[in-house]
Amino acid sequence: MGRSPCCDESGLKKGPWTPEEDQKLMNYIQKNGHGSWRALPKLAGLNRCGKSCRLRWTNYLRPDIKRGKFSQEEEQTILNLHSILGNKWSAIASHLPGRTDNEIKNFWNTHLKKKLIQMGFDPMTHRPRTDIFSSLPHLLALVNLKELLDHGGHPSWDEQAVRLQAEAAQMARLQYLQCLLQPPPANNSFGAGSPSNLNDITDMETINLLSSLCSYQLDQNPPQYPGANFEPVQDHNSIPFSHLPDLQTYQTPSLNNNKDMVNQAEDQFAVVLSQGQNSPNNPWNIPSSSNTTPSPTSMAPPVAETSISNTMGDACSTSSFGGVANSAWSELLLEDSFFNEIA
């Protein structure tokens, strides 16, 4: 059985506090302490609910509250504590004398979160974001797995390989979108005409939603492939193929036409980067700012886009991103057990 909210009573004032109300509240508490918050408003002569009084006191009127800008030290403390505690604002506030949980929460939401995102960190995990660069090695691995299978790989892996490459294509598509939505880093490795210059993307809510959606999908559907350190698919017969692109229209690329696709995709990608999202050469159907918020299902590549998605996956797995991609690829070769496992 739930409780009725304390402010349900009609006739009680809401909204901003006047200086007179503040004075009444302060006078009362300094004289009598707050005691029961529910009883306080009547005793103090305030037409407010107790909860409202408590919040006003704890977040604003308390004499030990420090106001003004957060210092560098405070900012660093918040970042450190948030990486450990998460959104436990009161716990974080307990380490910052004079700061309220509400103030820290607001500061986080309006400053620090954006700062982390701009620096390429996931504000929740404080780790580098699962974006196109950091997951590139796995995309590469997926594509190369498929190539390997096309040339004598384990036959029982075939279906999985199709699925995996479809996943890779889907991931790549999402990541490309996410990439477009990222604000430019200080040293934008994309250079002029990069996605960060896509001026048509102005609806920040849409951008944020899409961005979080991409992150969510990547979090929920990490790349999986047999033999790797990721959680293996135990029973590939249980894979819901209905969720995948139409397999009949799925063209398994050979090594050679795969390269053609790569070249083609690289060209397309370069054109899109230089012309912006509304380029007629943009095959990825990036929604424009005038669109309403897309539903998650609209993010999934429809069957008709299968080949496009495949192309995108390939485009992302090549040297389209220059040194960044190459270095990421090198790291994969050094660090990932994938190739040792399947060798």
Footprint on this chain of DNA (rule: CB under 7 A): 1-3, 5-7, 13-17, 34-39, 48, 50-52, 54-56, 58-60, 87-91, 101-103, 105-107, 109-111, 114, 202, 204
Least Å from the CB of residue 315 to DNA: 30
Least Å from the CB of residue 16 to DNA: 5
Alpha-carbon torsion (21, 26, 28, 29), positive or negative: positive
C-beta of 64 vs 231, nearer to DNA:
64
Contacts of 48 (CB under 8 A, 6+ apart): 12, 13, 21, 41, 56
- Element of type H or E holding 281: none
C-beta of 51 vs 95, nearer to DNA:
51
Least Å from the CB of residue 235 to DNA: 35
Compute the residue count for the chain.
343
Crossing angle for the helix pair 136-150 and 322-335, to the nearest 10 degrees: 70
Structure tokens at 276: 């912006």
Pick the closest to residue 133 from 333, 320, 335, 343 (CA basis): 320
Report phi then psi at 121, rounded to 5: -110, 145
C-beta of 166 vs 180, nearer to DNA:
180
Q: Which residue has the tokens 């700061």?
A: 99
C-beta of 51 vs 259, nearer to DNA:
51
C-beta of 21 vs 167, nearer to DNA:
21
Largest CA distance in the chain: 85
Least Å from the CB of residue 336 to DNA: 34
Do the Cβ atoms of 6 and 49 come closer than 8 Å?
yes
Q: How many alpha carbons fall within 13 Å on the CB side of residue 96?
A: 29
C-beta of 107 vs 133, nearer to DNA:
107
Pick the closest to residue 166 from 278, 104, 250 (CA basis): 250
Report phi then psi at 128, rounded to 5: -55, 140
Least Å from the CB of residue 103 to DNA: 5
Give whole-number Cα distances, 230 to 38, 224, 337, in Å.
Answer: 54, 6, 10
Least Å from the CB of residue 95 to DNA: 12
Least Å from the CB of residue 5 to DNA: 5
Pick the closest to residue 206 from 275, 327, 114, 291 (CA basis): 291
C-beta of 136 vs 181, nearer to DNA:
181
Pick the closest to residue 225 from 282, 267, 178, 171 (CA basis): 171
Least Å from the CB of residue 157 to DNA: 41
C-beta of 4 vs 187, nearer to DNA:
4
